[in-house]
């Protein structure tokens, strides 16, 4: 088993390098892929003790049954299977196997769950609960204004840089998934709060030495780039202070933004562009959140 385990480790490390460099995935996506394939590796070694190149179709099917028995959601099973298929496609690419044992395995179908959303009033309550009498409060307010009004992912928010701001033109430049850039309009209110925060930064920069993190727009107290966890904590505290009992995450703001755009009359294509979705089917879920808007769109079609 030890010998086979070593072969798995070497193969997975090579696969990790491949998806990081060739597929241009974010570090979070890379770690998610490796985490899933490592769970599969442990199962195969425990049950069958074979190398990656000796895995057969029935082993993968038995692994999926194992996930089902462990009460993993169908969406989770489908994600893991997608990662397994990617792994064996890599082995095909480097000529380690002649065919993929995962090729003809279908993913379990799951019903699409609607994302949690906030009303416009609830968004205003949460953002308005932040005390802007402090430097930290003004930073946090600027962050949440941008997060909501530009429909950003949390990873996009924390990687925004100073040179991504084009306030004269009314846009910010966002680096999305797969390092794809998009220009997103920014509203007047969000601009104002960001400018107030930047004024605070100028004062602090006069008293502190430069750090490597200062190219980023939003900085921690140590003048380094904010982490995802920090943003989650800021939102959790603001939600509590606002008296909102819903479970709110950075992505809740993004979902709410998309829903409110559609309700305001934006087309699904416009929302797709704003969110940076590669496939419009990802955006279509928001039409389920607003059936009245979809009905109006259908009625406008001339037959």
Among the listed residues 117, 143, 162, the one whose alpha carbon sits nearest the alpha carbon of residue 231: 143
- Per the annotation, the verdict on 260 as an active-site residue is no
Segments in the chain forming alpha helices (H): 2-21, 27-47, 57-69, 74-93, 120-128, 135-149, 154-158, 188-207, 228-242, 250-263, 268-275, 280-283, 285-289, 291-299
The two three-digit tokens of residue 172, written as one number: 């910010």
- Per the annotation, the verdict on 277 as an active-site residue is yes
Whether the CB-CB separation of 287 and 300 falls below 8 Å is answered with no
- Per the annotation, the verdict on 68 as an active-site residue is no
- Per the annotation, the verdict on 153 as an active-site residue is yes
- Given the residues 153, 225, 255, 293, the one annotated as active site: 153
Sign of the torsion angle spanned by Cα atoms 225, 228, 230, 231: positive
- Given the residues 66, 196, 223, 251, the one annotated as active site: 251
Whether the CB-CB separation of 74 and 109 falls below 8 Å is answered with yes
- Given the residues 139, 254, 260, 293, the one annotated as active site: 254
- Per the annotation, the verdict on 286 as an active-site residue is yes
The two three-digit tokens of residue 43, written as one number: 């199962």
- Per the annotation, the verdict on 254 as an active-site residue is yes
Going along the chain, which residue ranges are E strands? 165-166, 171-175, 181-185
- Given the residues 7, 16, 66, 177, the one annotated as active site: 177
- Residues noted as catalytic: 153, 177, 251, 254, 277, 286
């Amino acid at each position: 088993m030890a010998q086979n385990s070593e072969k798995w480790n070497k193969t997975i490390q090579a696969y990790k390098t491949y998806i990081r460099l060739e597929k241009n995935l974010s570090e979070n996506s890379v770690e998610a892929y490796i985490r899933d394939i490592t769970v599969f590796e442990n199962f195969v070694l425990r049950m069958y003790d074979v190398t990656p190149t000796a895995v057969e179709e029935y082993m993968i099917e038995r692994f999926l049954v194992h996930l089902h028995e462990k009460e993993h959601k169908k969406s989770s099973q489908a994600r893991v299977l997608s990662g397994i298929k990617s792994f064996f496609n890599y082995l095909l690419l480097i000529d380690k196997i002649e065919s993929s044992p995962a090729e003809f395995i279908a993913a379990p179908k799951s019903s699409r769950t609607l994302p949690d959303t906030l009303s416009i009033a609830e968004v205003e309550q949460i953002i308005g609960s932040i005390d802007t009498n402090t430097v930290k409060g003004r930073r946090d307010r600027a962050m949440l204004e941008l997060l909501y009004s530009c429909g950003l992912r949390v990873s996009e928010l924390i990687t925004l840089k100073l040179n991504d701001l084009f306030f004269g033109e009314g846009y910010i430049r966002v680096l999305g998934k797969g390092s794809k850039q998009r220009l997103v309009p920014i509203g007047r209110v969000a601009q104002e709060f960001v400018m107030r925060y930047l004024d605070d930064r100028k004062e602090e920069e006069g008293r502190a030495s430069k750090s490597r993190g200062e190219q980023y727009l939003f900085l921690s107290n140590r003048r380094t780039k904010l982490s995802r966890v920090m943003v989650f904590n800021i939102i959790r505290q603001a939600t509590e202070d606002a008296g909102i009992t819903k479970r709110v995450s950075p992505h809740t703001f993004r979902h709410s933004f998309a829903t409110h755009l559609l309700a305001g009359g934006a087309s699904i294509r416009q929302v797709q562009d704003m969110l940076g979705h590669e496939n419009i089917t990802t955006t279509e879920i928001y039409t389920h959140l607003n059936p009245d808007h979809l009905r109006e769109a259908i009625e406008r079609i001339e037959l």
